[in-house]
A and B are shown apart, each in its own frame.
Chain A
Amino acid sequence: MEEDTSKVPQSTNTKHYYKRQHYKSDSDHILRKRIPPRDIRGPNDFYITNNSNFKGQLAQCIKALDKGESEIVLCGSGAAVPRAINLALQLEDKYSGSYSLDVHTSTIHLVDDLESISNTHESRSQTRCNSCVKIRVYKINE
């Protein structure tokens, strides 16, 4: 087992690997994902998830913008990135002219704990990277 679990496993940096295979639970460990690091959520931040209804999310954003907010931020990570982009484009379409988009992409480091299920193995953790997008929908000053 690894001595220093705080480091990223070497294999992730160097070797080509099949992503899905690497992070699965095996017979000795259960994979438990930790929560992604995130900022304190403000009232105008929308964290987009694939589990919610798309129309509902859109309605939420429209409600915020109609209330007169000068800007809202849509955050999406991993699989939710396309949805966040889709949402932002829909908003731009609706408010063309009055609101504009500002896109930031970044990478976040996620941590998974591999909990051992037998006494002989040691629990360890591993990091992986995930892309995320932050889209600022802001009012254009004329």
Chain B
Amino acid sequence: MKTSSEKPDFDSLLGGDVKIPQSVSIKPFIRARMDEIEALTQLIETPSNNILLKQKFPKHMRRRAMSQNVKRIPKRLREHHIDMREKSGIREVPIKRPRRKYRRRPQNLLSDYNRRQKEFIWLETHIWHAKRFHMVEKWGYKLADFPNDKSYRACYRATTKHCLIQDISFYCCIELSGLLNDILEGMEKHTSSECGLTFCSKYIQSGKTEGHVTFFKSGRYPYGAIGEINYIWQPCSQISETDTLVLWLWCHPSYYSEILEELIKSYGLDQNEENQNLDFMEEDDTKTVEDIKLEIKNIPFGKCPTYHSRINSVKMVLLKDTLNCFRLTGPLSQALLTSCFKEIDLSKRTVCDWSMQFKDKIDIFKKQLLFWEKMKNITHPGQLPPNLVFGLLAVDPRLTMPHHKNKAVGNISDFSCQSLHSIEEGLSYSPIWSSKVRDEVSASKLSTQRLNELRSEKLIPGIEVELNNENINNFPAVPCLFIHRPGTHMDGKPTGYSSGWDIIVPAGYGQPVWLGLVMHGGRAGGLKETASISREAGILYQHPDTAAGKLEDEHRKNELTKIFFRIPPAKRPNYIKLGFPTPFNCPWNILIRDWTDGEHESFFVLRNIKQLICLKNKLMKIRNKLSFEPTMTSALVGVMITLKGKGSLDNNAYICIPTKSDLETLKADPDFSGPVEEKHRDVFKENRKSALEDHQKLLRKLTRKRRKERKQVEKVNECSKSDEIISEHSEIMKRLWLPECTTIKEYDCRTVVGFVTNGDFSFTNAKSSGVGYICLKGLLALFQLLEEFEKNRYVLVRNHNSNQYRFAAINIIC
């Protein structure tokens, strides 16, 4: 054999023919075996699998968390273990989270806060709110939804008797500047003079008041609405053709990007790349806490994105998140405002800071102070000229904050002072319009630490000392802008309900101003309060013809559907039996299609103010003729619905036209509560039953199959898995519970004309009431019917969970 000849078995001493040498020279010996040795050492030093030392411990020495924590291993063996671990490349545990005490150090905390704001931006008062409110992620922000404490009624009471405060800094500001004609030219396509005052109004151009306008997609009026925006012009006494004017647009974040897109298109704007902001990017070691707080915001001004027009003089700067805005609602907002902000008399100010450059405007500031004194004598914001804009130079509110929370009720020294009829020139002037001033004010904000140091230096601390201080005029100043909001003027609602003020302050002062307002007795509210106020006041928002409104509807529908299917089937309301095919949304498209016989699918909300007034007058005096020819069949009209007697009103309730017999019965019996919808036949009941049975049969079959397979081969076949089948079945069941709605107008025994979008019990009416829309054609049909029943001008409404129709009064919102 070949192998035996190559591998000699015996050495010469034993009779073999191989001679073993007397000595071995190590070097050549090792060299010959180098490869093997290397391979062996490699294997020892780097174990291929992670069988570590710890697994070789005797049982009594093993500890559960050894693999997590080295310190569980006896100390004498630990070194070896660490060595082994390093060599095998296994990492111990995910990176250790720093201990709480370390995380809570101000510096680390701040950087962590900034990191957490990357996805959803926080308002400056976020931490205050996060402790006390339910927070929601909406429109790119983390916003306060509703307070944690039991406060629904308290918040309503605040709006009627005291003052409700809301942080609405999420409203986005866009600054447009340029020649008047250039700005107006671009805006003309986006607005319509039929909807009320537009940018062309000379009265609003003076900057004395704030304007409101509905923004449309370029040239698409009446379709293509985007949303409502508020705007203020920078005040100037004489508007000339060659002056550069500045305009601030305030819009809701849900349609901010849409508006931005439209503006860029219609002005031909280009973004300035690589602008001067490099100077600000320089990393500074001497950053204060206040600087880090504002790090992620577009402050200083140079960081704001800037756009220049290719065509004309228009320039756009996005001031999003660089200004704070607070909303005060309620009669005491007057008292709250005047007690929270202490004015600074510029003529007596001796400190050299940014305010020095406004010394030449001293007359205007004096006028403002005079007006401020008058304001203190007014008990209700509803007594002031509507939409007034007022600028004030105020002391940093932290310096004049009371020690304990108290309620500002206002003290009137001179009641004989009458309401102010008109707005004087110059009241709206404010240094806040200057970007340099804003930057300087934000940068020179006293840190809390410094403030406390200053306080501790005082012999007798307290607000009284500060207020009597002669130096109050030399305290750090904040330019503020107050914008008046007139209340509602709906019939049947208290005049001036929801009136109040909006406060605009520069970045960095959000928290101090907010605390000041809270300490003076304001009641904080969230987004839920916005909805309830607008319902109480009869204001429509998030119109269904805007993209933002549609998105919100869709979102709400999905959420409610999810909740509905979480309820066990036996406990769910059967909407097929109730004859309510759309309990979670308002199918405007279907409604319009039904009313226009399939002519129109798209619709718009009627905003033509003259036509709305005509419709309103017609409803009031039903016998009169309608003074315009209604041709827009695809229009929706905003209405307020107030139930006649008892009953509740929910979102998505149907608004129906009563039949003649209904109104006749009501005429005969004023206590008649309304007709009842017949129970519909549940056509899908059998289908649901059989689908469920089939499904269960199939599942059982699959289970048997799996069991069989497990016995035979130990491995479950892919095809017998039931996850997909279950999800498919749940989809089928969902469709059988809530079948898709194809027609709505004549679905029930009464003709549907519209839906309620925001309905609930209303404290102002002491009845259920809500706002919604009805289609114009339906409204005209209603008018025709009501002409005979002048005294009983009611519609019928029905909630999703009931088959009782109830009579309700109707009011057109304009």
Least CB separation from B492: chain A residue: A51
Which one of B192-200, B221-229, B260-268, B633-641 contacts A? B192-200
Does A32 touch B at the CB level, under 8 Å? Answer: yes
Known: A111-B421, A119-B193. Contact between A39 and B383, CB under 8 A? no
Does A122 touch B at the CB level, under 8 Å? Answer: yes
Q: Would you list which residues of chain A between 39 and 78 have a CB under 8 Å from chain B? A: 39-40
Does B610 touch A at the CB level, under 8 Å? Answer: yes
Closest beta carbon of chain A to B215's beta carbon, Å? 16
Contact status A118-B193, CB under 8 Å: yes
Does B717 touch A at the CB level, under 8 Å? Answer: no
Does B496 touch A at the CB level, under 8 Å? Answer: yes
The complex places the Cα of A37 from the Cα of B495 at a distance, in Å, of 13
Does B412 touch A at the CB level, under 8 Å? Answer: yes
Closest beta carbon of chain B to A44's beta carbon, Å? 16
Closest beta carbon of chain A to B162's beta carbon, Å? 12
A-chain residues with CB within 8 Å of residue B201 when the two chains form the complex: 116, 119
Closest beta carbon of chain B to A69's beta carbon, Å? 20
B-chain residues with CB within 8 Å of residue A25 when the two chains form the complex: 613
Per-position binary interface string of chain B over residues 360-388, scored 1 when its CB falls under 8 Å from any chain A CB and 0 otherwise: 00000000000000000011101111100
Contact status B610-A40, CB under 8 Å: no
A-chain residues with CB within 8 Å of residue B409 when the two chains form the complex: 40
Contact status A34-B496, CB under 8 Å: yes
B-chain residues with CB within 8 Å of residue A125 when the two chains form the complex: 385, 421-422
Does A6 touch B at the CB level, under 8 Å? Answer: yes
Does B410 touch A at the CB level, under 8 Å? Answer: yes
Q: Would you list which residues of chain A between 124 and 140 have a CB under 8 Å from chain B? A: 124-125, 127
A-chain residues with CB within 8 Å of residue B384 when the two chains form the complex: 34
Q: Would you list which residues of chain B between 388 and 432 have a CB under 8 Å from chain A? A: 409-410, 412, 415, 418-419, 421-422
A-chain residues with CB within 8 Å of residue B197 when the two chains form the complex: 116-119
Most buried by A among B380, B384, B422: B422
Count residues of chain A with CB under 8 A from any CB of chain B.
Answer: 28
Contact status A5-B422, CB under 8 Å: yes
B-chain residues with CB within 8 Å of residue A116 when the two chains form the complex: 197, 201, 203
Which of A32, A38, A122 makes the CB contact (< 8 A) with B202?
A: A122
Known: A34-B383, A111-B421. Contact between A123 and B203, CB under 8 A? yes
The complex places the Cα of A123 from the Cα of B610 at a distance, in Å, of 16
Closest beta carbon of chain B to A55's beta carbon, Å? 15
Least CB separation from A7: chain B residue: B421
Least CB separation from B415: chain A residue: A39
B-chain residues with CB within 8 Å of residue A92 when the two chains form the complex: none
Name 17 interchain pairs, CB-CB below 8 A, sorted by A: A25-B613, A33-B489, A33-B495, A34-B382, A34-B383, A34-B384, A37-B378, A37-B383, A39-B415, A40-B409, A40-B412, A111-B383, A111-B419, A116-B203, A117-B197, A119-B201, A124-B422
Contact status A119-B496, CB under 8 Å: no
B-chain residues with CB within 8 Å of residue A37 when the two chains form the complex: 378-379, 383, 415, 418-419
Closest beta carbon of chain B to A140's beta carbon, Å? 28
The complex places the Cα of A27 from the Cα of B610 at a distance, in Å, of 7
Per-position binary interface string of chain B over residues 616-651, scored 1 when its CB falls under 8 Å from any chain A CB and 0 otherwise: 000000000000000000000000000000000000
The complex places the Cα of A25 from the Cα of B614 at a distance, in Å, of 12
Contact status A39-B202, CB under 8 Å: no
Contact status B610-A109, CB under 8 Å: no
Least CB separation from A38: chain B residue: B379
Q: Would you list which residues of chain A between 14 and 29 have a CB under 8 Å from chain B? A: 25, 27
Closest beta carbon of chain B to A37's beta carbon, Å? 5
Least CB separation from B609: chain A residue: A117
The complex places the Cα of A33 from the Cα of B415 at a distance, in Å, of 20
Tell me if B's interface is mostly helix, strand, loop or mixed: loop
Does B486 touch A at the CB level, under 8 Å? Answer: yes
Contact status A32-B489, CB under 8 Å: yes
| A residues apposed to B, CB below 8 Å | 4-6, 25, 27, 30, 32-40, 109, 111, 113, 115-119, 122-125, 127
B-chain residues with CB within 8 Å of residue A113 when the two chains form the complex: 385-386, 486
Closest beta carbon of chain B to A64's beta carbon, Å? 17
Contact status A35-B380, CB under 8 Å: yes
Contact status A34-B489, CB under 8 Å: no
Tell me if A's interface is mostly helix, strand, loop or mixed: loop
**What size tier do the contact residues of chain B reach?**
20 to 34
The complex places the Cα of A5 from the Cα of B486 at a distance, in Å, of 19
B-chain residues with CB within 8 Å of residue A5 when the two chains form the complex: 421-422
The complex places the Cα of A123 from the Cα of B444 at a distance, in Å, of 41
A-chain residues with CB within 8 Å of residue B193 when the two chains form the complex: 118-119
The complex places the Cα of A32 from the Cα of B421 at a distance, in Å, of 13
Contact status A6-B486, CB under 8 Å: no
Q: Would you list which residues of chain B between 493 and 535 have a CB under 8 Å from chain A? A: 495-496, 499
Contact status A119-B489, CB under 8 Å: no
Q: Would you list which residues of chain B between 172 and 204 have a CB under 8 Å from chain A? A: 193, 196-198, 200-203
Closest beta carbon of chain A to B688's beta carbon, Å? 51
Closest beta carbon of chain B to A84's beta carbon, Å? 18
Contact status A35-B386, CB under 8 Å: no
The complex places the Cα of A39 from the Cα of B378 at a distance, in Å, of 9
A-chain residues with CB within 8 Å of residue B487 when the two chains form the complex: 35
The complex places the Cα of A58 from the Cα of B641 at a distance, in Å, of 30
The complex places the Cα of A5 from the Cα of B422 at a distance, in Å, of 6
Least CB separation from A28: chain B residue: B610
B-chain residues with CB within 8 Å of residue A36 when the two chains form the complex: 383
Which of B203, B378, B421 makes the CB contact (< 8 A) with A6?
A: B421
Closest beta carbon of chain B to A111's beta carbon, Å? 5
Known: A34-B496, A35-B499, A118-B193. 19 other contacts (CB 8 A): A27-B610, A30-B613, A32-B386, A35-B380, A40-B410, A109-B418, A111-B419, A111-B421, A113-B386, A116-B197, A116-B201, A117-B196, A117-B609, A119-B198, A119-B200, A124-B422, A125-B421, A125-B422, A127-B421
The complex places the Cα of A27 from the Cα of B611 at a distance, in Å, of 10
Least CB separation from A125: chain B residue: B421
The complex places the Cα of A122 from the Cα of B209 at a distance, in Å, of 13
The complex places the Cα of A26 from the Cα of B680 at a distance, in Å, of 49
A-chain residues with CB within 8 Å of residue B496 when the two chains form the complex: 34-35
Name the 6 nearest CB pairs between A and B, nearest first: A35-B382, A6-B421, A35-B496, A5-B422, A119-B200, A119-B201
The complex places the Cα of A50 from the Cα of B176 at a distance, in Å, of 49
Q: Would you list which residues of chain B between 94 and 112 have a CB under 8 Å from chain A? A: none
The complex places the Cα of A44 from the Cα of B243 at a distance, in Å, of 56
B-chain residues with CB within 8 Å of residue A118 when the two chains form the complex: 193, 197
Least CB separation from B197: chain A residue: A119
The complex places the Cα of A124 from the Cα of B409 at a distance, in Å, of 31
Contact status A39-B412, CB under 8 Å: yes
The complex places the Cα of A33 from the Cα of B486 at a distance, in Å, of 10
Which of A4, A35, A124 makes the CB contact (< 8 A) with B495?
A: A35
The complex places the Cα of A30 from the Cα of B490 at a distance, in Å, of 12
A-chain residues with CB within 8 Å of residue B379 when the two chains form the complex: 37-40
Which of B202, B380, B386 makes the CB contact (< 8 A) with A119?
A: B202
Closest beta carbon of chain A to B645's beta carbon, Å? 15
The complex places the Cα of A45 from the Cα of B486 at a distance, in Å, of 25
A-chain residues with CB within 8 Å of residue B499 when the two chains form the complex: 35
Which of B203, B385, B495 makes the CB contact (< 8 A) with A122?
A: B203
Least CB separation from A36: chain B residue: B383
Least CB separation from A33: chain B residue: B495
Closest beta carbon of chain A to B336's beta carbon, Å? 14
Closest beta carbon of chain A to B555's beta carbon, Å? 34
A-chain residues with CB within 8 Å of residue B489 when the two chains form the complex: 32-33
Least CB separation from A49: chain B residue: B494
A-chain residues with CB within 8 Å of residue B418 when the two chains form the complex: 37, 109
B-chain residues with CB within 8 Å of residue A115 when the two chains form the complex: 386
Contact status B486-A32, CB under 8 Å: yes
The complex places the Cα of A123 from the Cα of B201 at a distance, in Å, of 10
A-chain residues with CB within 8 Å of residue B419 when the two chains form the complex: 34, 37, 109, 111
Least CB separation from A8: chain B residue: B421
The complex places the Cα of A118 from the Cα of B610 at a distance, in Å, of 10
B-chain residues with CB within 8 Å of residue A32 when the two chains form the complex: 386, 486, 489
Closest beta carbon of chain A to B158's beta carbon, Å? 16
Closest beta carbon of chain A to B463's beta carbon, Å? 22
The complex places the Cα of A35 from the Cα of B497 at a distance, in Å, of 10
